[in-house]
């Protein structure tokens, strides 16, 4: 396929993934431009997380193609996968901090283990990144279990940006936080993504968060992208699915499967 | 329910599981020879698996040796073969009971701990996080545990051998009226290097089984706390069964 526009940062073509008889991704097509912040919205169980895991190589799609910087990364394994993942930073929903390591070693992990940087040098960078998310250096010596939920999210964010990735993924960054802390995290996401000049892809069902961090919004429903447009057009999409989701109505074309 | 269908499903499930374990083991074996190696983690695991298992292994071996001496004395009495106590104790401990009992105890301690730790890392996405930080989870989690277990189990069993024989000696001399010096001389004269070495080889294999199955069950745990609990139980049960099965196979290979 010939592209006249500059190469996409991330491109998904007809990506499909099923778990047994359950089809989760049913031909996803999506492009993310360099430097843009894309937010993918959609209800629980619509395939948002699975799509993210396919891009990261944590799951392998059944068919279709995923490319990063024009390079096919769909079926990479081993060393090649580790190399491709150096493009990425990821903030996990629950933080996914290593509870066996102090906070600063968590932040520095990608540098010390992924790239073999000396501990002393990595610690300096870790403290810098902690400062960037508003945590002082004493926090670096604590264990993740000693931190509150909001602080864990911040540490997760510091870890995601530690190796200056060019693409950062956010998995439900505001889930489980109080509204004020959610806003703090949203601000930090906007700020840090600009700071490292990265492309951002977030998945969320929190519309306040989506409005704040998105340049562009895509909605996923039943394993397909059903709407894709600029964040400012979200209220005038003319798409009944998007309208229902944005306004959080129980009635509409999306029927919750209450019983399976 | 259709009984034939049930048999079919069980067969497919079994073959699927064997396939999964094989894929996991091949990936695990590859990680043993592929850099990077995390030396500090290997040391840490050796301490956890080996050193902290010493008390439990020591007590078990001591009482097993004592009971063995007692049984042989009582059984031997029927055919007038009580004098065989030191010989059979040392043979039984070094060849069979030392490695098997120590490994079963370590399986209960260590396979469970490994499965619980790695299982929790799985359900809290820490294993996914490793991958996104360009660190292979097999290199970081599996290889250090397998290397540590394979290296420390023979040491543990060697100690279990000594303590087990000592347990038999204590019972025989204090309770059964054996002469101290004669008992030790009898043990020493009868023992061959191979008896001990075969037990240590077994121990290394059992160490591999314990660490590999703990990691496998942990990696494949799902569904939160309950899933981790199930992984822990499955790790201990499958490791114990495999230890006993592997012991039988090795005994029939070594001593025939």
| Distance (Å, whole) CA B28 – CA B138 | 6
Q: DSSP string of A118-133?
A: -HHHHHHHHHHHHHHT
Q: Show the 3-state SS of B139-200.
A: HHHHHHHHHHHHHHHHHHHHHHHHHHHHHHHHHHHHCCCCCHHHHHHHHHHHCCHHHHHHHH
Mean pLDDT of the region B182-203: 93
Residue of B118, B129, B228 to mutate when probing chain A, most A C-beta within 10 A: B129
Instruction: Indicate the helix (H) or strand (E) that contains A71.
Output: strand A71-72
Tell me if A208 sits within 8 A of A176, measured CB to CB: no
**What is the residue whose two structure tokens read 């429903």?**
A221
Give the pLDDT score at B87.
92
Mean pLDDT of chain B: 93
Rg for chain B (alpha carbons), in Å?
21
How many domains does one find in chain B? 1
Whether a cis peptide bond, with omega within 30° of 0, leads into B36 is: yes
Examine the predicted complex and report whether its ipTM is higher than 0.90.
no
Please judge whether A53 and B129 are an interchain contact, meaning their C-beta atoms are less than 8 angstroms apart: no
With a CB cutoff of 8 Å and minimum separation 6, the contacts of A64 are A12, A13, A14, A15, A16, A27, A28, A74
Residue of A19, A76, A82, A169 to mutate when probing chain B, most B C-beta within 10 A: A82
Mean pLDDT of the region B214-242: 93
| CB contact A110 to B (< 8 Å) | yes
Residue B252 has pLDDT above 90, yes or no: yes
Minimal Cβ distance to B131: which of A57, A94, A115: A57
Give the pLDDT score at A253.
84
Q: Spell out which residues of chain B touch residue A116, defining contact as CB-CB under 8 Å.
A: 36
Residue of A90, A161, A169 to mutate when probing chain B, most B C-beta within 10 A: A90
The 10s digit of each residue's pLDDT in B94-131 is 999 999 999 999 999 999 999 999 999 999 999 999 99
Minimal Cβ distance to A96: which of B128, B134, B135: B128
**What is the residue whose two structure tokens read 């600063």?**
A104
Q: Spell out which residues of chain B touch residue A114, defining contact as CB-CB under 8 Å.
A: 133-135
Low-confidence ranges of chain A (pLDDT < 50): 1-3, 260
| CB contact B16 to A (< 8 Å) | no
Q: How far is B204 from chain A (nearest CA, A)?
A: 27
List B residues 83-122 in contact with A (Cβ-Cβ < 8 A): 121
Give the pLDDT score at B1.
67
Q: Which residue of B has its CA nearest to A107?
A: B133
Domain harbouring A212, CATH code:
3.40.50.300
Give the pLDDT score at A258.
59
Give the pLDDT score at B64.
96
Distance from chain centroid for Cα B160 = 12
| Distance (Å, whole) CA A153 – CA A172 | 11
Please judge whether B135 and A86 are an interchain contact, meaning their C-beta atoms are less than 8 angstroms apart: no
More confident residue, B79 or A28: A28
How many domains does one find in chain A? 1
Report H helices in A40-197: 48-56, 78-84, 103-109, 119-132, 149-161, 179-196
Minimal Cβ distance to B124: which of A88, A90, A94: A94
Q: For residue A48, give its domain range.
A: 10-247
Q: How far is A239 from chain B (nearest CA, A)?
A: 34
DSSP state of B82: G
Q: Is residue A200, in this structure, part of any structural domain at all?
A: yes
Give the pLDDT score at A1.
45
Relative to beta strand A10-19, strand A216-221 is unpaired
| CB contact A210 to B (< 8 Å) | no
CA-based torsion, B138, B141, B144, B149: positive or negative: negative
Please judge whether A82 and B135 are an interchain contact, meaning their C-beta atoms are less than 8 angstroms apart: yes
| CB contact B37 to A (< 8 Å) | no
Phi, psi angle pair for A77, to nearest 5°: -135, 175
Please judge whether B134 and A115 are an interchain contact, meaning their C-beta atoms are less than 8 angstroms apart: yes
Residue of B128, B133, B144 to mutate when probing chain A, most A C-beta within 10 A: B133
| CB contact B71 to A (< 8 Å) | no
Q: For residue B160, give its domain range.
A: 3-254
Please judge whether B128 and A115 are an interchain contact, meaning their C-beta atoms are less than 8 angstroms apart: no
Torsion, CA A188, CA A190, CA A192, CA A197, rounded to 10: 180
| CB contact A227 to B (< 8 Å) | no
Q: Which residue of B has its CA nearest to A86?
A: B134
Mean pLDDT of the region B18-29: 93
Tell me if A111 sits within 8 A of A119, measured CB to CB: no
Q: What count of other Cβ atoms lies within 10 Å of the Cβ of residue A242? A: 24
Q: Is residue A257, in this structure, part of any structural domain at all?
A: no
| CB contact B175 to A (< 8 Å) | no
Q: Which two tokens stand for residue A5?
A: 């526009």
| Distance (Å, whole) CA A95 – CA A107 | 12
CA-based torsion, B189, B193, B199, B200: positive or negative: positive
Minimal Cβ distance to A94: which of B125, B134, B140: B125
Give the pLDDT score at A103.
95
Q: Is residue A2, in this structure, part of any structural domain at all?
A: no
Q: Maximum CA pair distance of chain A?
A: 57
Tell me if B96 sits within 8 A of B251, measured CB to CB: yes
Give the pLDDT score at A205.
87
């Amino acid at each position: 396929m010939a592209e006249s526009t500059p190469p996409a940062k991330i491109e998904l073509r007809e990506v499909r993934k099923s778990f047994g008889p359950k089809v989760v991704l049913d031909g996803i097509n999506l492009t993310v431009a360099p430097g843009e912040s894309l937010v993918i919205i959609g209800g629980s169980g619509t395939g948002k997380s699975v799509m993210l895991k396919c891009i990261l190589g944590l799951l392998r799609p059944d068919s279709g193609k995923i490319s990063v910087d024009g390079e096919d990364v769909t079926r990479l394994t081993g060393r090649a996968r580790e190399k491709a993942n150096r493009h990425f930073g990821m903030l996990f929903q629950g933080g996914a901090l290593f509870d066996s390591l102090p906070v600063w070693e968590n932040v520095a992990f990608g540098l010390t283990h992924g790239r073999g940087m000396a501990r002393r040098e990595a610690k300096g960078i870790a403290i810098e990144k902690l400062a960037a998310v508003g945590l002082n250096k004493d926090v670096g010596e604590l264990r993740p279990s000693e931190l509150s939920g909001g602080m864990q999210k911040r540490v997760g964010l510091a870890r995601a940006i530690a190796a200056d990735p060019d693409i950062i993924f956010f998995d439900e960054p505001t889930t489980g936080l109080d509204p004020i802390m959610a806003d703090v995290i949203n601000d930090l996401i906007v700020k840090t993504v600009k700071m490292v000049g990265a492309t951002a892809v977030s998945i969320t069902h929190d519309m306040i968060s989506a409005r704040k961090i998105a340049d562009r919004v895509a909605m996923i429903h039943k394993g397909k992208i059903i709407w894709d447009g600029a964040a400012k057009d979200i209220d005038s999409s003319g798409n009944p699915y998007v309208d229902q989701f944005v306004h959080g109505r129980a009635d509409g074309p999306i029927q919750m499967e209450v019983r399976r | 329910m259709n009984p034939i269908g049930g048999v079919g499903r069980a067969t497919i499930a079994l073959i699927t599981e064997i396939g999964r374990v094989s894929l996991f083991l091949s990936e695990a074996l590859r990680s043993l020879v592929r850099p990077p190696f995390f030396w500090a983690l290997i040391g840490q695991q050796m301490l956890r698996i080996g050193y902290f298992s010493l008390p439990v292994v020591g007590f078990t071996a001591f009482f097993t040796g004592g009971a063995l001496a007692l049984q042989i004395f009582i059984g031997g009495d029927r055919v007038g073969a009580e004098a065989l106590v030191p010989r059979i104790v040392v043979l039984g401990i070094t060849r069979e009971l030392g490695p098997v009992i120590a490994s079963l105890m370590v399986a209960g301690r260590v396979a469970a701990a490994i499965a619980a730790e790695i299982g929790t890392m799985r359900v809290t996405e820490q294993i996914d996080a490793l991958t996104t930080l360009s660190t292979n989870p097999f290199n970081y989690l599996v290889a250090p545990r397998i290397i540590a277990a394979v290296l420390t189990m023979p040491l543990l069993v060697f100690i279990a051998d000594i303590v087990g024989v000592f347990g038999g000696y204590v019972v025989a001399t204090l309770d059964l009226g054996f002469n101290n010096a004669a008992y030790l001389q009898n043990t020493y004269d009868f023992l061959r290097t191979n008896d001990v070495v075969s037990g240590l080889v077994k121990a290394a294999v059992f160490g591999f089984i314990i660490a590999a199955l703990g990691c496998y069950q942990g990696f494949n745990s799902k569904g939160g706390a309950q899933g981790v609990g199930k992984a822990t139980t499955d790790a201990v049960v499958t490791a114990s069964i495999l230890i006993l099965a592997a012991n039988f196979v090795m005994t029939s290979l070594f001593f025939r």
